[in-house]
Structure 1
């Protein structure tokens, strides 16, 4: 590797089989690896026969380490950044380092791999076309509830990471703020031996964890279904006539979009009504 690069390398979140061949190759070839916890990462390096030197890079020393890493890159060295597990910078250190390296004129290259949030989202059964990642909520109850209140009206799926000693408090707060019937998915210990994916209303998932304390152990991703606006059970006859008239000259989808813009009704509902009108002709 002749060019000085900073590689952002994803590592397994549990199952070592998720380590990619490219990640192994990069970690073997770089001059130094910046790791969130060198003792933790040393075990991973030993497993894959990687003997590249490690240097710590975490929340408390990232600014100092960024200066050191840039000096080494200026001297022609190539560096990799890893976190304890998963994709670096996703609720982990690294933002300041990446920004500083880019501002110093060096390339930053991703080496994709495991990410707990994306893995959980993919099996949640919740809409994935748009979603929001909150990271960790505030540790204290009042702050946590206030933040949930700000997320309550989101129409898209959203999710958080949570620790075992706060998971029940989080579920209590979800009931308090969102109600017991909001649909959620809870992913525990993803890719590990006791991986569990639960889905249902908040109260249903809460009951499962209350009945089995083992389900309260491990690291969690909690995904919450977006808020659904209540809709009128019927679309007025006048609006139906408007839609029907537009459909004479426009495709159903376009006609539904026009009526939605004029009335504020949901385009999806108007499109379904248009299909029904078309089928009855």
Structure 2
């Protein structure tokens, strides 16, 4: 038999953004919320514990990460229904943006619990704001697949995307990702590489994908830290058409001779056949 229904007014689940580097970016409101809730659900309790200690916040922490979120979500919702207010934070930045938490938020909302955002730092938006690329329309792709084949396939599918692309990457794969982007999008596609945003060694590099690859390859320091790549969209009409033609050609060329692949890709996408025929692997 089910237990008795919780009585009283449910609490609130506060989704709280934390700094991505500079501790001064934790707002006064965020500090007040983190002090006032019954507990804080954190992706990494050790890392979040260091942040809380810096601000003298002693609120208990509950570990909530991708491996236990499904199991814990309903238990946390029961606490909320019983009247406790809780906070959700990630390791850094805004929760749920390439971080765990959406299952808990979904479960809370389904149970009728109020969910309230406490806005703050977000690496994707921070990078976009200083990139100098079109920001009226953009698409956030988070982290690309770690495996090379899956990453290249994803990039090929994005090659005709007309909106600005915002992508996260790690230091372990930044060189390979820039190489793969040059192949999928064309090495002359404008892009910005934002590294270690708000931290001591913050750098924001711009140029073509080829320029960024050269800069990262030449300087060991530019291969360290956390990265956001902001890439100009394919644009409209002819440029997007050619990018889509390249994508379709690459798929067809795995199974058909180059001439047939170019002919079919041109018919499917409207891209110029001559621009596709004779493309070498990696172009």
Question: What's 2:48 paired with?
Answer: 41
- After TM superposition, the score normalised by the length of structure 1 is 0.80
The separation in 1 between residues aligned to 2:63 and 2:226, in whole angstroms, is: 23
Within 2, Cα distance between the matches of 1:70 and 1:202?
Answer: 46
Number of equivalent positions: 231
Q: What's 2:16 paired with? A: 9
1:146 maps to 2:148: no
The superposition leaves residues 35-70 of structure 1 with CA deviations (integer Å, 9 ceiling, x where unpaired) of 000011000000011100000000000012211111
Give 2:126's aligned residue: 119
Tell me which residue corresponds to 2:75: 68
Which string of whole-angstrom CA distances, capped at 9 and with x for unpartnered residues, describes residues 121-160 of structure 1? Answer: 0000100000000001010111001000111101110111
SS, match of residue 25 in structure 1: helix
Q: Residue 194 in 1 paired to residue 201 in 2?
A: yes
Q: Which structure 1 segments of 5+ residues have no match?
A: 233-281
Alignment partner of 1:218 out of 198, 215, 225: 225
Matches within 5 A, 1:1-281: 4-229=11-236
In the alignment, structure 2 segments of 5+ residues that lack a partner are 1-8, 240-283
- TM value normalised by structure 2: 0.80
CA distance in 2 between counterparts of 1:56 and 1:97 reads 13
CA contact (8 A) 2:42 2:65 kept: yes
- In structure 2, C-alpha distance between the alignment counterparts of 1:29 and 1:188, rounded to whole Å: 34
Contact 2:10 2:113 in 1 (8 A): no
State the match for 2:5 in structure 1: none
C-alpha offsets along residues 194-251 of structure 1, whole Å, 9 cap, x if unaligned? 000001001111111111111000000001100124669xxxxxxxxxxxxxxxxxxx
Match of 1:239 in 2: none
Q: Secondary structure at the match of 1:165?
A: coil
Structure having the higher Rg = 1
After TM superposition, the structure 1 stretch with the greater mean CA deviation from structure 2, 207-216 or 2-11, is 2-11
Quick check: 2:12–2:113 contact (8 Å CA) kept in 1?
Answer: yes
Name the Cα RMSD after superposition.
1.3
